[in-house]
């Protein structure tokens, strides 16, 4: 069982089905709201299905499969059969490739290649890619158990501001409400409770994965997380200065980076497009009452000043108006409790006039 938010144990099967659902939905560019409407559930319910917090009923799973144009079996692919015991022999979990349409299609195409050398090279390439994905999947799964997500990885260079011993940096943070829910269920009072919770969780992940260290986004020394995310190819500078993610939009933040001494094999990341480049109305630039984003630069003092006035009550309780104005990642919007927590922390960090 996986310990998750609200101290609920998530069944590994439910978690696997949810991850398969999320992967297919994202690959088809289907929003949670659109899928939820097709099935007759809320976007929040879809999110709980994807995280494994709520078990998907047979009826909803049938509706989801129909909406995403996949067989029911798709959601169970990769689980494998239970391990068997025969004398002293323990069988490995087995995955039947014949239940995967892509695998069947690949085998048919592979067998059409007459040249034995070419077939051997294809096999080596596919095996290499599979090993890459398998390794990073293990890292992502360990991070997911905390409620956080992996927000990219990179092999840092000499000018990236990473430790000299770092062969790989895996960026970890939050996207949407999952981290907040997990933190709220285990919150311990004291100074900077979220930072303390983050350190407990990521220190544990570091030990579990055998990483060398964890670099944290809060406190000192300051690390260039924004630059690292852009180098990893999964974030871009937005019109208001914050990093924008193609899926999460402005509703994500960096909590730490796992440091591995070796250069981990990573799946080749295709270039992602900056969502701001295709945004025509640019609502984020005019949403701030304090004009903190005039000229494309962020004026933190103007923002902090507004929060101290009656006009800033809405921002203080609901979160940054500029973030809310952005069209990207609406389904990952923080709820009021999380937004208010972060806004209070920001206000407290700013110098008083």
pLDDT computed for residue 134 by the predictor:
54
Q: Mean pLDDT check: name the lowest of 4-13, 134-143, 289-298.
A: 4-13
Distances (CA, A) of 351 to 231, 265, 300: 31, 44, 10
In the chain, the percentage of residues whose pLDDT exceeds 70 is 85
What is the structure's pLDDT at 267? 65
The least confident of 15-29, 117-131, 179-193 is 117-131
Residue 6 pLDDT exceeds 80? no
CB 178 within 8 A of CB 143: no
**CATH architecture of structural domain 2-76:** Orthogonal Bundle (1.10)
What are the DSSP calls for 218-283, one per residue? SSSS---HHHHHHHTTS-EE-TTSSEEBTTTBT-EEEEEEEEESS----PPPPP---GGGG-SS-T
The residue assigned the tokens 């990073």 is 136
- For 247-299, how does the pLDDT look when each residue is reduced to its tens digit (9 = 90+)? 999 999 999 999 999 888 776 655 678 999 889 888 988 888 888 886 567 78
Residues 6+ apart with CB under 8 A from 288: 303, 306, 320, 321, 322
Q: What is the mean pLDDT of residues 44-62?
A: 91
List the end-to-end C-alpha distance of the chain, in Å, as a whole number. Answer: 51
The tens digit of pLDDT for each residue in 159-197 reads: 999 999 899 999 999 998 889 999 999 989 888 899 999
Average pLDDT over residues 47-61: 91
Residue with tokens 């269920």: 185
Least trusted range by pLDDT, from 8-12, 189-193, 315-319: 8-12
Query: Residue 82 pLDDT more than 50?
Result: no
Three-state SS for 149? strand
121-142: average pLDDT: 72
CB 312 within 8 A of CB 306: yes
As a 3-state breakdown, the chain gives helix, strand, coil percent values, each rounded to 5, of 50, 10, 40
pLDDT of residue 258: 95
């Amino acid at each position: 069982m996986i310990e998750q938010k609200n101290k609920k144990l998530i069944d590994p099967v439910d978690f696997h089905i949810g991850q398969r659902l999320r992967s297919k939905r994202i690959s088809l560019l289907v929003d949670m709201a659109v899928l939820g409407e097709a099935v007759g559930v809320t976007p929040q319910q879809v999110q709980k299905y994807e995280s494994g917090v709520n078990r998907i009923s047979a009826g909803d799973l049938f509706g989801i499969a129909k909406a995403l144009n996949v067989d029911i079996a798709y959601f169970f692919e990769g689980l494998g059969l239970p391990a068997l015991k025969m004398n002293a022999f323990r069988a490995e979990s087995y995955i039947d490739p014949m239940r995967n349409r892509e695998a069947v299609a690949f085998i048919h195409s592979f067998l059409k290649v007459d040249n034995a050398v070419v077939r051997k090279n294809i096999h080596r390439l596919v095996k290499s890619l599979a090993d890459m994905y398998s390794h990073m999947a293990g890292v992502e799964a360990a991070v997911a158990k905390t409620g956080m997500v992996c927000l990219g990885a990179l092999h840092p260079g000499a000018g990236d501001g990473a430790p000299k011993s770092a062969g790989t940096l895996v960026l970890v943070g939050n996207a949407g409400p999952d981290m907040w829910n997990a933190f709220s269920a285990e919150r311990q009072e004291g100074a900077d409770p979220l930072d303390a919770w983050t350190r407990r969780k990521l220190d544990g992940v570091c030990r579990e994965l055998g990483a060398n260290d964890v670099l944290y986004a809060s406190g000192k020394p300051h690390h260039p997380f924004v630059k690292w995310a852009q180098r990893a190819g999964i974030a871009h500078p937005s019109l208001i200065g914050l990093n924008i993610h193609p899926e999460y939009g402005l509703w994500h933040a960096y909590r730490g980076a796992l440091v591995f001494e070796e250069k981990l094999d990573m799946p080749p990341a295709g270039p992602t497009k900056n969502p701001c480049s295709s945004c025509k109305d640019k609502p984020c630039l005019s949403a701030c009452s304090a004009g903190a984003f005039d000229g494309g630069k962020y004026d933190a003092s103007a923002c902090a000043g507004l929060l101290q006035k009656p006009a800033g009550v809405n921002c203080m309780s609901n979160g940054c108006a500029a973030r809310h104005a952005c069209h990207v990642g609406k389904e990952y919007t923080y709820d009021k409790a999380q937004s208010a927590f972060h806004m209070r922390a920001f206000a407290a960090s700013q110098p008083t006039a």
